[in-house]
Structure 1
Amino acid sequence: MLQSLISLPDQDIELVITAVRQWCTKNDCEIDSNEGRRALTLAIDLVQYSSRDTLFQDLTKRLCPRSGPIDAETSGAG
């Protein structure tokens, strides 16, 4: 993962780090957590293969928040 990040141009590295920090803040997790590392890995892939303009939005769409609707449905089903 880190090697993939360092291979990006500087502006893409900044874009990835910014998007992941935003995502982690929104989802109340640390970049060093499992969720943060998963977001970082996905952000690297997204910036390499999709539009840079929508990186945060794409990241948010593809990663479920830690306590989202699925958790609420699951806890209500029991």
Structure 2
Amino acid sequence: MTTVAKAKERLGWCGGDDTHVAVAIWNPEDVKERAKALGIKVTDEQVNDILDRLDEKQDCSLGISWDTVDCYLDDYRKA
């Protein structure tokens, strides 16, 4: 599970507080709003699962996009 605390810990290796980094943050509301727009009902647990999968399986060449979120949401539409 990725939490804010774990993300901060992972960023610790980047250097000091003044080190520049590029970070994209996706939160539960992003996934919930997208699901609603697509007419897909998801529970809080499913939203957390999607966020975990996005974080664990992201591709450095492609990143995380709305298309990626849609793919994971589609798994729940089919379930």
Normalising to structure 2: TM-score of the pair? 0.48
- Considering fraction of residues, name the structure with more helix: 1
Bigger relative CO (Cα 8 Å, ≥ 6 apart): 2
Normalising to structure 1: TM-score of the pair? 0.48
